[in-house]
């Protein structure tokens, strides 16, 4: 009992010391564990709605640039966080590769032709460096491997081919008497086969899959009948946006670690401002953040604001002092780490004894990059997922 009492006493002393460190007023108190801050739950990794298999029609792959568009980035992020699988039927893969090859060569040709026309007008221009056929083939080969989520390869099968052929013969959706859609029939049969493994979310803008070719009518009756009695359910969406609405989940990040990372990087700027104005930090910081999906399905881009109440060290009745900090950074969801934390704003607001508002502002100058010759332009994506206005 005596030893327990001593341990309890030491724990109490540590709690008191932590509290003193916080109210001592420097940024150092926020570089360790923030008193009162709450680590948010891992909501993404444990979504109660379970897993699913997502199947995208060829048109979706092409329209969203192999999911490298802003909308595609958001979908890839939630696929990753929901531990879902992205199915790739062979009929879709072959058609996407063929059309991407054709499109990329057309893009290169148009740029080259437009550059020649501009050169004729201006007489002298910088040379435009464009991908050659070898570079295009290399990119085609990695279109799907670079998606960044788990891919489920679905091989072309005799079973799917036979099912599709029967639909073309009978003129049943997705075929019709006037329009034989063998590839679409194979794709649908692949979706039905996948129902043996898990729920299937099928995304297609092709009205041939829907009743009387109208989206609001739901799936065509013969296709709907094929889903009845299966072990899992099939849901059809006509756009990636509709799919995103359905699979979107709460996005939770570690706010405590964000504040720690910010103070570790920029704490000296905070301390300098407090020292110049004779204030000290008080209470628990309040944070607001906006999260964005990026070109990497496991990395979020973050814009944030941290507000910290302060107290007057000069006893001059200066009140309502709040230190406002703004910044940006990236968060690795899987690794739970922040990177590239930057400060974009720093301001101290307070009231004088006579009620007059005063401000102290640090001018933040961003570092510019200077490049000799042609600079590389890197594709980046920002799709807003959440925004907080507390």
When pLDDT is cut at 50, 70 and 90, the band that residue 168 belongs to is confident
- Residue 140: pLDDT over 50: yes
pLDDT at 389: 57
Average pLDDT over residues 107-123: 96
Mean pLDDT of 244-270: 93
Give the count of domains, the chain. Answer: 2
364 band by pLDDT with thresholds 50, 70 and 90: confident
What is the pLDDT averaged over residues 47-64? 85
Q: Please check whether residue 20 lies inside any domain of the structure.
A: no
The secondary structure of 162-191 as a DSSP string is HHHHHHHHHT-TTS-SS---HHHHHHHHHH
* Contact assessment for residue 74 and residue 293, using Cβ atoms and an 8 Å cutoff: yes
Mean model confidence pLDDT for the chain: 85
Q: Which residue in this structure is represented by tokens 């990372």?
A: 261
* 65-103 burial: b if 16+ Cβ within 10 Å, else e: ebbebbbbbbbbbbbbbbebbbbbbbbbbebbbeebbee
Residue 319 and residue 226 share a domain: no
Asked if residue 128 and residue 97 are part of one domain, the reply reads yes
In sequence order, the 6+-apart residues with CB closer than 8 A to the CB of 308 are 30, 281, 282, 283, 285, 286, 322, 323, 325
16: in domain: no
Rg (CA), the chain: 29
Residues 270 and 149 in one domain: no
CA angle 100–146–189, rounded 5-degree value: 65
Give me the mean pLDDT over the 45-71 stretch: 84
Tell me: pLDDT of 6 over 90.
no
Let me know: does 144 contact 93? Beta carbons within 8 Å. Answer: yes
Q: Predicted confidence band at 283 (pLDDT cuts at 50, 70, 90)?
A: confident
% of the chain exceeding 70 in pLDDT: 84
Give the separation between CA 219 and CA 236, rounded to whole angstroms.
7
Residue 192 placed within a domain: yes
Q: Are residues 74 and 38 in the same domain?
A: no
Give the pLDDT confidence of 285-339 residue by residue, as tens digits.
999 999 999 999 999 999 999 999 999 999 899 999 999 999 999 999 999 999 9
Note whether 238 and 293 are same-domain residues: no
Tell me, yes or no, whether 214 and 89 share the same domain: yes
Q: Is 55 helix (H, G, I), strand (E, B) or coil?
A: strand
Judge contact between 70 and 292, C-beta under 8 A: no
Asked if residue 374 is part of any domain, the answer here is yes
> According to the model, what pLDDT value does residue 13 have?
38
Q: Do 258 and 243 sit in the same domain of this protein?
A: no
- pLDDT greater than 90 at residue 340: yes
Range of the domain at 227: 53-247
Residue after which a domain boundary falls, among 228, 247, 266: 247
Q: How far is CA 272 from CA 42, 250, 379, in A?
A: 36, 37, 37
Look up residue 87 and give its two tokens: 């199915």
For the whole model, what pTM was predicted? 0.80
Instruction: Tell me which of 229, 247, 265 is where a domain ends.
Output: 247
C-alpha 117/C-alpha 88 separation (Å) is 41
Confidence (pLDDT) at 377: 74
Domain end, chosen from 247, 280, 312, is at 247
Least confident range from 5-9, 133-137, 278-282, 372-376: namely: 5-9
Mean pLDDT over 159-166 rounds to: 88
Residue 388 has pLDDT above 70, yes or no: no
User: Between 370 and 320, where is the model more confident?
Assistant: 320
CA-CA distance, 299 to 293, in Å (whole number)?
A: 7
Does residue 346 form part of some domain?
Answer: yes
Q: What is the pLDDT of residues 69-98, one digit of tens each?
A: 999 999 999 999 999 999 999 999 999 999
Which residue matches tokens 């009162």? 36
Q: Please tell me whether residues 270 and 197 are part of one structural domain.
A: no
Residue 8 inside a domain? The answer is no
| Per-residue confidence (pLDDT) for residue 181, from 0 to 100 | 87
Is the CB of residue 75 less than 8 Å from the CB of residue 249? Answer: no
Both 209 and 258 in one domain: the answer is no
* Same-domain pairing of 215 and 305: no
One domain, residues 266 and 367: yes
* pLDDT at position 368 over 50: no
One domain, residues 238 and 374? no
Cα–Cα dist 309/284, whole Å: 8
Residue 359 within any structural domain of the chain? yes
In a domain, 139, yes or no: yes
pLDDT for 171: 87
Please state, in angstroms and rounded to a whole number, the distance separating the CA atoms of residues 196 and 10: 59
Q: Supply angle C-alpha 144, 147, 152, rounded to 5.
A: 65
- pLDDT at 366 (0 to 100): 58
Q: Looking at residue 183, which CATH number applies to its domain? A: 3.40.50.1010
């Amino acid at each position: 009992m005596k030893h327990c009492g001593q341990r309890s006493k030491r724990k109490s002393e540590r709690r008191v010391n932590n509290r003193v460190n916080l109210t001592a007023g420097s940024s150092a108190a926020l570089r360790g564990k923030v008193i009162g801050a709450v680590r948010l739950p891992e909501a993404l990794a444990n979504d109660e709605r379970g897993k699913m298999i997502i199947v995208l029609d060829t048109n979706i792959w092409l329209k969203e640039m192999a999911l490298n568009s802003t909308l595609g980035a958001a979908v890839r992020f939630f696929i990753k966080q929901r531990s879902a699988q992205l199915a790739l039927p062979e009929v879709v893969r072959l058609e996407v590769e063929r059309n991407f090859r054709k499109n990329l060569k057309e893009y290169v040709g148009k740029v080259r032709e437009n550059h020649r026309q501009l050169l004729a007008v201006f007489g002298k221009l910088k040379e435009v460096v464009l991908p050659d056929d070898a570079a295009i083939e290399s990119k085609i080969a990695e279109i799907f491997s670079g998606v960044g989520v788990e891919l489920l390869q679905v091989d072309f099968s005799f079973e799917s081919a036979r099912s599709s052929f029967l639909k073309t013969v009978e003129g049943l959706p997705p075929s019709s008497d006037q329009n034989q859609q063998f590839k679409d029939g194979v794709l649908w049969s692949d979706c039905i086969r996948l129902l043996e493994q898990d729920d299937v979310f099928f995304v297609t803008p092709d009205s041939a899959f829907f009743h009387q070719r109208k989206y609001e009518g739901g799936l065509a009756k013969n296709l709907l009948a094929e889903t009845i009695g299966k072990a899992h359910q099939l849901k059809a969406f006509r756009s990636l946006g509709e799919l995103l609405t359905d699979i979107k989940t709460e996005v939770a990040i570690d706010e405590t670690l964000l504040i720690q990372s910010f103070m570790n990087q920029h704490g000296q700027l905070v301390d300098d401002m407090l020292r110049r104005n004779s204030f000290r930090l008080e209470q628990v910081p309040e944070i607001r953040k906006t999260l964005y999906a990026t070109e990497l399905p496991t990395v979020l881009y973050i814009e944030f604001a941290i507000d910290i109440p302060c107290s007057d060290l000069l006893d001059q009745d200066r009140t309502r002092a709040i230190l406002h900090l703004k910044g940006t950074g990236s968060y690795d969801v899987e690794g739970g780490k922040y990177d590239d934390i930057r400060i974009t704003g720093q301001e101290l607001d307070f009231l004088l004894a006579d009620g007059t508002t005063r401000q102290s502002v640090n001018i933040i100058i961003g570092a510019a990059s200077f490049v000799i010759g042609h600079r590389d332009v890197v594709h980046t994506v920002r799709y807003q997922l959440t925004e907080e206005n507390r």
